[in-house]
Structure 1
Amino acid sequence: MLLNFARHKFFWFLDGLKGSKIKNQLIEIKLGVEQPNSTQAQQLKDKYIQQLLSHAVASTSFYKTYTDYTELSNFPVIRKTIIQDNFEAFQSRIFKNENNFKVSTSGSTGVPFFLFQNKNKRHRNHADAVYFYNQSNFKIGNRLYELEVWRDHNKKGKFKSWIQNIVQFDISRLTDQRIITFFKLLKNNKQSKTILGFASALEMIAQYLERHNLLFKDLKINSIIANSEYLNSYTKTTLGKHLNTTILSRYSSEEIGIIAQQTLYNPDKFIINHASYQVELLNLENDLPAKQGELGRIVVTDLFNYAMPIIRYDTGDIAKLEKDSNGITYFTQIEGRKMDLIYDTKGNLLSSFVVYTKFYKYYSLLKQYQFIQQDAKEYEVKLNLQESTFPFENQLIADIKLDFGEDAVVHITYVDEIPALSSGKRRKVINNYNG
Structure 2
Amino acid sequence: MSINKIRSNFYWLIDALKGKTIKSQLKDIEFCLENAHTPQAKEIQKAHIQRLLKHVTQTTPFYKKFKGLNDIHSFPVIRKTVIQDDFENFKSSSYKDKKNFKVSTSGSTGVPFLLYQNQEKRNRNHADLIYYYKQSNFKIGNRLYELEVWRNHNKKGKLKSWLQNIVQFDISRLTDDRIQQFLKLLKLDKQSDKTMLGFASAYELIAQYLENNNIILDNVGLTSAIANAEYLNHYTKTTLGKHLNTVVLSRYSSEEIGVVAQQTLSSPNTFVLNHASYYVELLNLNSDIPAKPGEFGRIVVTDLFNYAMPIIRYDTGDIAEFGVNKNGVMEFAKIEGRQMDLIYDTSGNMISSFVVYTKFYKYYHLLKQYQFIQQEEDRYEIKLNLKGDNFAFEDELIADIKLDFGNNARVDITYVDEIPALASGKRRKVINNFKKY
Shorter-chain TM-score: what band? Answer: over 0.9
Amino acid at match of 1:374: Q
Amino acid at match of 2:165: N
| SS of equivalent to 1:262 | strand
> Could you tell me which residue of structure 1 aligns to residue 75 of structure 2?
75
CA contact (8 A) 1:110 1:423 kept: no
> Could you tell me which residue of structure 2 aligns to residue 58 of structure 1?
58
Shift of 1:72: 0.3
Within 5 Å, which residues of 2 pair with 1:8-19? Answer: 8-19=8-19
Q: Distance in 2 between matches of 1:174 and 1:308?
A: 37
Q: Distance in 2 between matches of 1:365 and 1:65?
A: 58
> Could you tell me which residue of structure 1 aligns to residue 187 of structure 2?
187
Within 5 Å, which residues of 2 pair with 1:347-358? Answer: 347-358=348-359
Shift of 1:328: 1.1
The yes-or-no answer on 1:421 pairing with 2:422 is: yes
- Kindly provide the CA deviation profile for residues 89-136 of structure 1, in whole angstroms up to 9, marking residues without a partner as x: 000011012110000001211211110000000000000000000000
- Kindly provide the CA deviation profile for residues 352-384 of structure 1, in whole angstroms up to 9, marking residues without a partner as x: 111111111111111110000000100000001
Q: Distance in 2 between matches of 1:134 and 1:297?
A: 28
- Kindly provide the CA deviation profile for residues 62-89 of structure 1, in whole angstroms up to 9, marking residues without a partner as x: 0000013130001000111111101000
Q: Distance in 1 between matches of 2:266 and 2:327?
A: 16
| SS of equivalent to 1:306 | coil
Q: Distance in 2 between matches of 1:39 and 1:432?
A: 46
> Could you tell me which residue of structure 1 aligns to residue 120 of structure 2?
120
Instruction: Judge which range, 218-227 or 37-46, deviates more.
Output: 37-46
Shift of 1:321: 1.3
Q: Distance in 2 between matches of 1:2 and 1:16?
A: 21
Shift of 1:39: 2.1
Within 5 Å, which residues of 2 pair with 1:23-422? Answer: 23-191=23-191, 192-422=193-423
Q: Distance in 1 between matches of 2:56 and 2:190?
A: 50
| SS of equivalent to 2:237 | helix
- Kindly provide the CA deviation profile for residues 327-356 of structure 1, in whole angstroms up to 9, marking residues without a partner as x: 111111001100111010111111111111
Amino acid at match of 1:183: L
Q: Distance in 2 between matches of 1:11 and 1:248?
A: 25
CA contact (8 A) 2:50 2:70 kept: no
Amino acid at match of 2:396: Q
Q: Distance in 1 between matches of 2:274 and 2:173?
A: 33
How many aligned residue pairs are there? Answer: 435
Q: Distance in 1 between matches of 2:326 and 2:274?
A: 18
| SS of equivalent to 2:360 | helix
Q: Distance in 2 between matches of 1:298 and 1:39?
A: 24
- Kindly provide the CA deviation profile for residues 190-249 of structure 1, in whole angstroms up to 9, marking residues without a partner as x: 111000000000000000001101001110000000000000000000001100000000
Amino acid at match of 2:382: V
| SS of equivalent to 1:130 | helix
| SS of equivalent to 1:63 | helix
Amino acid at match of 1:195: M
Q: Distance in 1 between matches of 2:325 and 2:315?
A: 25
Amino acid at match of 2:262: Q
- Kindly provide the CA deviation profile for residues 171-192 of structure 1, in whole angstroms up to 9, marking residues without a partner as x: 0000000001111111111111
Q: Distance in 1 between matches of 2:185 and 2:98?
A: 42
Shift of 1:37: 2.3
Q: Distance in 1 between matches of 2:232 and 2:139?
A: 23
Shift of 1:434: 3.4
Q: Distance in 2 between matches of 1:301 and 1:324?
A: 21
Q: Distance in 2 between matches of 1:152 and 1:172?
A: 14
Amino acid at match of 1:139: K
- Kindly provide the CA deviation profile for residues 297-327 of structure 1, in whole angstroms up to 9, marking residues without a partner as x: 0000000000000110000000011112211
Shift of 1:7: 0.2
| SS of equivalent to 1:388 | coil
TM-score, length of structure 1 as denominator length: 0.99
Instruction: Judge which range, 89-98 or 32-41, deviates more.
Output: 32-41
Structure 2 gap ranges (5+): none
Shift of 1:145: 0.3
Q: Distance in 2 between matches of 1:409 and 1:249?
A: 34
Structure 1 gap ranges (5+): none
After TM superposition, where is structure 1 displaced by more than 2 Å over at least 4 residues in a row?
Answer: none
| SS of equivalent to 1:413 | strand
Amino acid at match of 1:198: F
| SS of equivalent to 1:268 | strand
| SS of equivalent to 1:45 | helix
**Identical residues among aligned pairs (%):** 66
> Could you tell me which residue of structure 2 aligns to residue 431 of structure 1?
432
CA contact (8 A) 2:53 2:70 kept: no
| SS of equivalent to 2:24 | helix
| SS of equivalent to 1:271 | strand
